[in-house]
Amino acid sequence: MGKPVNRSNRTNRCVAVALVLGLSCCLPSLTLTAAAGPPASDAAAAGSLGEGQLLLPPGDVVPDPVEILPGAARPRPGDLLDASARAADGMLLEEFRLDEMPFEASSGDWFWNGGWYAGGESLWMDRSRNNRRTIAEQPYLDFRTGGVRFAKFTTTAQPFNMAPGARVTIGRSLGRDYLDRDRAFEFIYYGGMTYEDVDGWNAPFGGDNVIVPIAPFAPGFAGATQYATWFNSDFNSWEWDYKLRRRLGRDQLVMSPGGNWSRHAERGWLPALIIGPRLANVNEDFRLRTSQAGVSPATFSGTYTVNAANWLLGLNLGGELISQNEFFYWGLRGRAAPALSFVSTHQTAVGVSSVTTPPGIPSGTTNFTADATRTAPGFIGDLTLMAGWNITPNFALQVGYDFLWVAGIATATRQFNLDQRDVRPLDAGGQTFYNGLSFGFNGSW
Q: Angle at Cα 56 formed by Cα 55 and Cα 57, nearest 5°?
A: 125
For 210, phi and psi rounded to 5 degrees?
A: -75, 130
Cβ contact 280:237 at 8 Å: yes
Cα torsion angle, 57, 59, 60, 63, sign: positive
Cβ contact 1:43 at 8 Å: yes
Cβ contact 170:190 at 8 Å: no
d(CA 91, CA 85): 11
pLDDT value at position 327?
A: 82
d(CA 39, CA 28): 28
Cβ contact 304:418 at 8 Å: yes
Type of residue found at 79? D
Q: List, in order, residues 6 or more apart from 117 with CB less than 8 Å away.
A: 169, 170, 171, 172, 173, 184, 186, 442, 443, 444, 445
Query: Which among 335, 337, 308 has a CA at the least distance from the CA of 320?
Result: 335
pLDDT value at position 393?
A: 77
Cβ contact 37:45 at 8 Å: yes
Cβ contact 142:204 at 8 Å: no
Cβ contact 291:346 at 8 Å: no
Query: Read out DSSP for 111-135?
Result: H--SSEEEEEEEEEEEEPPPP--EE
**Conformational region of residue 352, where left means phi above 0, alpha means psi within -120 to 50, and beta covers everything else:** beta
In DSSP terms, 370 is beta-bridged to: 347
Q: In 3-state terms, what secondary structure has residue 11?
A: helix
Helix residue ranges per DSSP H, 9-84: 10-20, 43-47, 65-68
Cβ contact 304:155 at 8 Å: no
Element (H, E) at 341: strand 328-353
State which residues of the chain have pLDDT below 50.
Answer: 1-11, 13-52, 54, 56, 66, 80-105
Q: Does domain 115-444 bear CATH number 2.60.120?
A: no
Q: List, in order, residues 6 or more apart from 372 with CB less than 8 Å away.
A: 344, 345, 424, 425, 426
Domain residue spans in the chain?
10-90, 115-444
d(CA 411, CA 233): 9
In DSSP terms, 147 is beta-bridged to: none
In DSSP terms, 250 is beta-bridged to: 106
Cis previous bond, 358, omega within 30: yes
Q: In 3-state terms, what secondary structure has residue 261?
A: strand
d(CA 126, CA 304): 27
d(CA 284, CA 46): 117
**Conformational region of residue 418, where left means phi above 0, alpha means psi within -120 to 50, and beta covers everything else:** alpha
